[in-house]
Chains A and B, each alone.
Chain A
Amino acid sequence: MPAFDIYYLGIAIVGLMGGVLGVVGYLTLGERKISAWIQDRVGPNRVGPGGLLQPLADGGKFFLKEEVIPDHVDRVFYLLAPAVAVITALMAIAVVPYGSTVPVPDPQASVEAFDASQSEYRSHYSFVLAPGLDVGVLYVFALGSLAVYGVILAGWSANNKYSLLGSLRSSAQIISYEIPLGLSVLGIFVMVGSLNLEKIIAWQQAHWWFVAIQPLAFILFLVSVYAECSRLPFDLPEAEQELVGGYHTEYSSMKLGLMLMAEYVHLVTTSFIVAIVFWGGWKFFGLESITGNPVWDAVICAGILISKMLALCILALLVRWTIPRFRFDQLMNIAWKVMLPLALANLVCVILVRQFTWPLWVLTICSVVLFFGAGYLSVISQGSITNPKRRVRKLPPGLPAGVTYAAR
């Protein structure tokens, strides 16, 4: 990036925010369309050609609805919660590349060499709002954990048992799934040696996509991401059948809209992260430099990355309408007894390969062995590890000993 220019940055921020919110709007339409198609229906098709203006109609409806703030809520936190949810969701996008990037130079031996490499780095434009942020992914994870505050504040301040139950579930779920989420990508940071997303892309350019090198980490990360976004099959915080609406039961009008929007923004951000960390970012078998013209190449790179992101979003939508919700004990069992040990074992494999500089395909084999080994272990243990049999006390018929009906 050339010297800091507030106009370029402003344009980039406005463009990216508009783009992300547009994608979010059309994800709601996509969700409705895909659910309709899966259920052999047609879906919304009245607003605009093929229903393409439906997100506008939905947004307008949200704005025009009556805003009900119940008397029994804690007003300050009730009003703060949707803002926290959306702001944290949108802030995470700052470090996410949305087009071709140039990796940050490594530390240099001398000050002159550092200056030279820095000025060379600054002469390129990187499609990131905050390029060269070395904590990169950590920043995204930190804001992802902050998002749970929006949920907890909403549930707590609503002063409603259903909302509270939903937010408690959500906090338990998000805190549990942060551990496999972090551990599964830790192996990638070990391989790359940096948390910077631009460097992770550059490493994959030099070697091969991480989805091929660490497929197990990809699966664990994707599952944790769905849990972090509260997407089905992990949407227990807002299980309608049990909790009315979950943590946003008491919200109406655009506040509800913001709550729902925050989840989709999370989906977009995490899809970007998965595309960048595991699917090679803006690289696609040489297609990224096919024209040779830097401007067109930049456009193609952005297109490739955004297509990958959209494909992952669509996968999330398909998964949502394919499998049913987990029970809460199953959810916790999977996080703590399956994904956490697998992620740890995967990390050990990565560290071994890195330490002894074994070839990278060893890691692929490690992933496959771990995956099928876990399945085999479950079979021979008859599920007693993840789902231990509890002794059911069979009570004799009638009243328990010593208890009698009160005399009438």
Chain B
Amino acid sequence: MTDADIKWVEEPKLGFWGQLYFPALMDGLKTTVGHIFSPKITEQYPEQEPKLPGNYRGVHRLNRDHDDRVKCVACYMCATACPAHCIDIVAAPAPAEWKDREKYPETFAIDELRCIYCGMCEEACPVDAIELTTLYDLTGLSREEMVFDKEKLLSVFDATTKAGTDPVRTRAGKLGLASEAPPTK
């Protein structure tokens, strides 16, 4: 590094009004007093709920299809994709009258405390059965309480679709392509 590389910067010169200092102070006061009367941007949280975008990643839900059955086909793709290993599925053969799939989840548990809410389960799901909702104020008194089982996750679906906060986003009611039976010749 030589002298030529060093750039010496001069302070900007103050004009007459700047040297008087008080005009600049009055200018500043005008700005701050103007802000006193401008509308406030604070959200009064418990009384005023925040408006969250539709792609907010909150509590999970398990979607139902048109017959109110759980949409999940127990393929384990979400559990495999999950970086936090918080999804635990026990698969069982689907009931005989469920013609469109071979398996269904006997139990489906998500540990909401381990979950990092990355949304990878939602992306991995081939039948759009698992989704993240905009519920953000999840609380509980024990660790066990925060492990959501299948019924609880289905009830989240019922609650959010009923309240209209999270309409079904993906291919409502129908299983995805992946679950369709191979074409018969």
Contact = CB atoms under 8 A, between A and B. Distances in A.
Interface string A318-351: 1101110000000000000000000000000000
A382 B36 contact: no
Contacts of A371: 20
Most chain B Cβ neighbours within 10 Å, of A34, A372, A379: A379
Given A41-B41, A318-B29, A375 B36 contact: no
Contact of A394 (B3, B15, B25): B3
B19 A42 contact: no
Interface in B16-52: 16-17, 19-20, 22, 25, 28-29, 31-33, 35-36, 38-42, 44
Contacts of B32: 38, 318, 321-322
A202 B40 CA distance: 45
B118 to A, nearest CB: 32
Contact of A40 (B19, B28, B35, B44): B35
Nearest to A39: B35
B153 to A, nearest CB: 35
B14 interface: yes
B182 to A, nearest CB: 61
A296 interface: no
Contacts of B14: 378-379, 383
B13 interface: yes
A317 to B, nearest CB: 10
B25 A379 contact: no
A55 B113 CA distance: 39
Contact of B35 (A38, A42, A397): A38
A385 to B, nearest CB: 11
B141 interface: no
Nearest to A34: B36
Nearest to B5: A397
B40 A41 contact: yes
A396 B25 CA distance: 42
B28 A322 contact: yes
Interface in A19-46: 34, 37-42
A42 B45 CA distance: 12
A319 B13 contact: no
Interface in A52-79: none
Nearest to A387: B11
A236 to B, nearest CB: 18
A40 B40 contact: yes
Interface size class of A (residues with CB under 8 A): 20 to 34
B38 A379 contact: no
Given A322-B29, A397-B2, A37 B20 contact: no
A397 B5 CA distance: 11
B35 A379 contact: no
Most chain A Cβ neighbours within 10 Å, of B25, B29, B36, B38: B36
Contacts of B1: 397
A260 to B, nearest CB: 23
B6 interface: yes
A40 B38 contact: yes
Most chain B Cβ neighbours within 10 Å, of A37, A375, A376, A397: A375
A319 B42 CA distance: 23
A382 B10 CA distance: 12
A190 interface: no
Contacts of A41: 40-42
A319 B41 contact: no
A319 B19 contact: no
Nearest to A233: B25
B40 A319 contact: no
Contact of A42 (B13, B16, B29, B42): B42
A180 to B, nearest CB: 15
Contact of B36 (A38, A319, A379): A38
Given A39-B35, A379-B19, A383-B14, A323 B28 contact: yes
A219 interface: yes
Interface in A134-173: none
A379 to B, nearest CB: 5
Given A219-B22, A371-B20, A397-B1, A37 B36 contact: yes
B16 to A, nearest CB: 5
Contacts of B19: 375, 378-379, 383
Nearest to B21: A375
A372 B22 CA distance: 11
Most chain A Cβ neighbours within 10 Å, of B25, B29, B32, B35: B32
Given A319-B25, A378-B14, 6 more contacts: A34-B36, A40-B40, A219-B22, A318-B33, A371-B20, A397-B2
23 contacts: A37-B36, A38-B32, A38-B36, A40-B39, A40-B42, A41-B41, A42-B40, A321-B32, A322-B28, A322-B29, A323-B25, A323-B28, A371-B20, A375-B16, A375-B20, A376-B16, A378-B14, A379-B14, A379-B19, A382-B13, A383-B19, A394-B3, A397-B2
Interface of B: 1-3, 6, 13-17, 19-20, 22, 25, 28-29, 31-33, 35-36, 38-42, 44
**Which 6 residue pairs are nearest across A and B when measured between Cβ atoms?**
A378-B19, A375-B20, A42-B42, A37-B36, A322-B28, A375-B19
